[in-house]
Homo-oligomer: A and B are copies of this chain.
Amino acid sequence: MDRVLRLFWEHRKGEKNPVKTECMSGPDKLHEECGVFGIYNFDKSNIVPLMPFGLTALQHRGQESCGIAVSHNREVAYYKDTGLVSDVLTPNVILGLSGEMAIGHVRYSTTGGTGRENAQPIVSKYKKGTLSIVHNGNLSNGAKLRDELENAGAVFHTTGDSELIAFLIARERLHCGSVEEAVKRALPYVQGSYSLLVMSPQKLLAARDPNGFRPLCLGKKENAYVFASESCALDAVGAEFIRDIEPGEIIAVTEEGFRVVKKGEGTAHHCIFEYIYFARPDSVLDGISVIAAREKAGRLLARQHPVEADLVIGVPESGIDAAMGYSLESGIPYGRGFIKNSYVGRTFIKPSQNDRDLGVRLKINPLREIISGKRLVVVDDSIVRGTTCARTIRMLKNAGAKEVHMRVAAPPFLWPCYFGTDIPDREHLTAVKHTIDEIRAEIGADTLGYLDLNSLHELVGSKEYCHGCFSGAYPVRVENGNGSER
């Protein structure tokens, strides 16, 4: 299920009687940090109108804020705010900007009132001009690095990692001849995950961490190079997919053309959860089709956790493809179990205390006609806290389902992620505290089956991948000043 509900009490300051609202996306689902998108047009014609297309295609990677920075004749302008791409990058904003080079960002954020300031791109003024940066990922040495830099006198405006990277690049640029060189010198200081676009007034650079945790790919549209977190954004602007940026690689596009500043190196450890949940099914990441990986997960589930049932359904949106895989492998027919309402806004006033499932039911309504009286296999991508899963199963049973056999297209979450996935504290992870049968009982399922950790590699063929959140085994050592290192 792609975005679920959160019930929260918005205690407006200065009021004794808080208004209870329902926010239509929430903590019972994992969150990616961002999506990035950039264009360099050799034509010098205005490519700003393409930015909302590319960023809207990446909107599933972050819905809290977005922004673009644009360069026209070496002058940089930018616009960012909290809200969806369609709310922020309105026709008026797009008409007010012009440029032959641009980078953009969509962001998921936990911060409240200061969201606007933490939005990206980060645009910095330094000795050599203006540096704009968009970043997807998380620095595992971010806290330590910030500490060191602040000890050396650095002052920051945001609490994010991206400003650290910008600072390092600016620092190096003082001592070397080009921004390409500066990026090359700066990146060894940072550890963790980063898929990065850097725009100086005349150059566009792309870089990916040596593990290649987060995706980043390159496309071409007429005389323009296009970079995007996922290939679906290339489709959205009509660009042709060229290739993925290699782990550890740095690329520069300048007046002189396309150049590999630093060759890819190191062993890729792609985040397996990109395939299971984050990415769009129509994207191909590092050569692996997302929808194929999901269908494969469903097939594996069918083999690992067979059950006698009448119908396989998927929890929209990300459970659907795995459900179809389960159906194909098991021979149990696939059917639509829910109707998803795509018009649901961000916040509703909660009608009353009793209506605890209203928000979920507004977002996904069970198809009584299809499921009533049936023994169901229900496939979802993952279980975090378990509360949403419990609501979903309760709705299905209320709608007449005879049995609900829950199948989860991922292993249980047990460990934190240091590379950009916003996993709750361990105390909130249901699988940390409970046995699988306890979870089954709590969510109200008749049976429950998770994908086997040892079969995960089948999703991505022979590729290496990071499975730290399931296994606790990370591909790199984690040094995090705020004590969350293990």
A interface vs B, CB < 8 Å?
12-17, 19, 21, 46-47, 49-50, 52-53, 56-57, 59-60, 63, 77-79, 84-87, 90-92, 94-98, 113-114, 117, 123-127, 131, 147, 150-151, 153-159, 166-167, 170-171, 174, 232, 235-238, 280-282, 284, 289, 291-292, 320-321, 324, 328, 333-336, 338-352, 355, 357-358, 361-362, 365-370
Judging by beta carbons under 8 Å apart, are A14 and B156 in contact?
A: no
A255 to chain B, nearest CB (A): 22
A84 to B8, CA, bound (A): 24
A350 to B94, CA, bound (A): 11
The 7 closest A-B pairs by CB, nearest first: A86-B345, A342-B342, A59-B343, A127-B150, A13-B98, A289-B369, A282-B339
A35 to chain B, nearest CB (A): 11
Query: Which B residues are CB-close (under 8 A) to A150?
Result: 126-127, 174
**Known A13-B95, A127-B150, A289-B369; contact A345-B56, beta-carbon cutoff 8 A:** yes
Judging by beta carbons under 8 Å apart, are A126 and B87 in contact?
A: no
A49 to chain B, nearest CB (A): 4
**Known A84-B345, A158-B125; contact A50-B365, beta-carbon cutoff 8 A:** no
Judging by beta carbons under 8 Å apart, are B157 and A124 in contact?
A: yes
Query: Which B residues are CB-close (under 8 A) to A351?
Result: 47, 49-50, 53, 237
Query: Which B residues are CB-close (under 8 A) to A361?
Result: 235-236, 238
A154 to B127, CA, bound (A): 8
Query: Which B residues are CB-close (under 8 A) to A368?
Result: 282, 284
- Least CB separation from A290: chain B residue: B369
Query: Which B residues are CB-close (under 8 A) to A167?
Result: 155
Contact of A85 among B17, B63, B343 (CB under 8 A): B343
A236 to B350, CA, bound (A): 13
- Least CB separation from A15: chain B residue: B17
Judging by beta carbons under 8 Å apart, are B49 and A349 in contact?
A: yes
- Least CB separation from A289: chain B residue: B369
A26 to B304, CA, bound (A): 47
Judging by beta carbons under 8 Å apart, are A84 and B343 in contact?
A: yes
A404 to B349, CA, bound (A): 47
Judging by beta carbons under 8 Å apart, are A95 and B56 in contact?
A: no
What are some 19 contacts across the A-B interface (CB < 8 A)? A13-B95, A49-B348, A49-B351, A57-B365, A77-B113, A85-B345, A125-B156, A150-B174, A151-B174, A232-B339, A235-B361, A237-B351, A238-B355, A238-B361, A280-B339, A282-B338, A282-B366, A282-B368, A328-B333
Contact of A87 among B79, B157, B345, B362 (CB under 8 A): B345
Judging by beta carbons under 8 Å apart, are B237 and A358 in contact?
A: yes
Contact of A236 among B78, B335, B365 (CB under 8 A): B365
Contact of A238 among B236, B281, B357, B370 (CB under 8 A): B357
Judging by beta carbons under 8 Å apart, are B320 and A336 in contact?
A: yes
Judging by beta carbons under 8 Å apart, are B151 and A127 in contact?
A: yes
Contact of A97 among B13, B95, B342 (CB under 8 A): B13
A232 to chain B, nearest CB (A): 6
**Known A49-B351, A77-B113, A238-B361; contact A324-B344, beta-carbon cutoff 8 A:** no
A124 to B167, CA, bound (A): 14
Query: Which B residues are CB-close (under 8 A) to A12?
Result: 95-96
Query: Which B residues are CB-close (under 8 A) to A366?
Result: 282
Query: Which B residues are CB-close (under 8 A) to A335?
Result: 324
Query: Which B residues are CB-close (under 8 A) to A114?
Result: 77-78
Residue of A92, A237, A351, A357 ringed by the most chain B CB atoms within 10 A: A351
Judging by beta carbons under 8 Å apart, are A91 and B238 in contact?
A: no
Judging by beta carbons under 8 Å apart, are B235 and A365 in contact?
A: yes
- Least CB separation from A87: chain B residue: B345
Query: Which B residues are CB-close (under 8 A) to A126?
Result: 150, 154-156
Query: Which B residues are CB-close (under 8 A) to A87?
Result: 345
Query: Which B residues are CB-close (under 8 A) to A333?
Result: 328
Judging by beta carbons under 8 Å apart, are B96 and A113 in contact?
A: yes
A47 to B123, CA, bound (A): 33
A344 to B86, CA, bound (A): 7
A340 to B124, CA, bound (A): 36
Judging by beta carbons under 8 Å apart, are B358 and A53 in contact?
A: yes
Query: Which B residues are CB-close (under 8 A) to A90?
Result: 347
Judging by beta carbons under 8 Å apart, are A365 and B125 in contact?
A: no
